[in-house]
Amino acid sequence: QLRESVQAVEKLMIFSGDKKTVDEKDVEAVVGKSKEDSVFQLIAALTEKNLAGSLHIFQELILQGEPYLMILAMISREIRHLLQAKLLLRSRALSAYRSNMDYGEFQKKIYPLLKEMIAQAGKNDMGLISQHPFAVYQSLKNSQRFAYEALLEYLDKLVRIDILMKSTGRDERLLIERFLVTVCSGK
């Protein structure tokens, strides 16, 4: 979407005039938040177990017209990635991984192991480990906030929510909000 990006930068230049620096408020005033940004913010708030943030960003997504099923799909994808990260850590395949490892060290020590796993399997898409290295790094870090059994339970709940959303007249918003509350409160 190069054309849209160039137009947004041009608008920002006109808006900021002679200012030497452009800050986040300037960008938001001219361009606004994108749906993609809000979805990633929702996922970040959810993995941090930030209930207020999760509910606020969820509300923003609804106001932007984001379909409930798309939001549910993104949440489901993140929970799957957290579970895959948890399984990787439990398997001891990444024995050199440490929770306090910075991203640079992760790229040098751990990511080559993941690339080797992909090469040995001979598959292009292997879930989490075929994602961008930073996404894998974040999932490994974030998975430590969750118990293995809880992640399994969340996946089960997400499947049930998906079925309810597609086969009943249940309130989609309420189904997702309850899930966010469950995950963030740890209950």
Q: What is the pLDDT of residues 108-159, one digit of tens each?
A: 999 998 888 888 877 666 688 888 889 999 999 999 999 999 999 999 999 9
The predicted structure's pLDDT at residue 30: 66
Structure tokens of 45?
Answer: 């708030």
What contacts 61, CB < 8 A, 6 or more positions away?
35, 38, 39, 42, 71
User: 3-class DSSP state for residue 168?
Assistant: coil
The predicted structure's pLDDT at residue 102: 92
155-187 pLDDT tens trace: 999 999 999 999 998 999 999 999 999 999 976
The predicted structure's pLDDT at residue 124: 64
The predicted structure's pLDDT at residue 31: 65
- Report the b/e string of 52-85 with b at 16+ CB within 10 A: ebbbebbebbeeeebebeebbebbbebbbbbbbb
Pick left, alpha or beta for residue 146 (phi over 0 → left; psi -120 to 50 → alpha; otherwise beta). Answer: beta
**What's the CA gap between 113 and 55, in Å, rounded?**
37
With residues binned 3-state (H G I as helix, E B as strand, rest as coil), the percentages for the chain, rounded to 5, are 75, 0, 25
The predicted structure's pLDDT at residue 32: 62
23-82 pLDDT tens trace: 877 777 666 655 556 888 999 999 999 999 999 999 999 998 899 999 999 999 999 999
The predicted structure's pLDDT at residue 33: 56
Structure tokens of 131?
Answer: 């994602």
The predicted structure's pLDDT at residue 75: 96
DSSP 49: T
> Is 40 exposed, middle or buried, given 0-12, 13-18 or 19+ CB atoms closer than 10 A?
middle
* Mean of per-residue pLDDT scores for the chain: 87
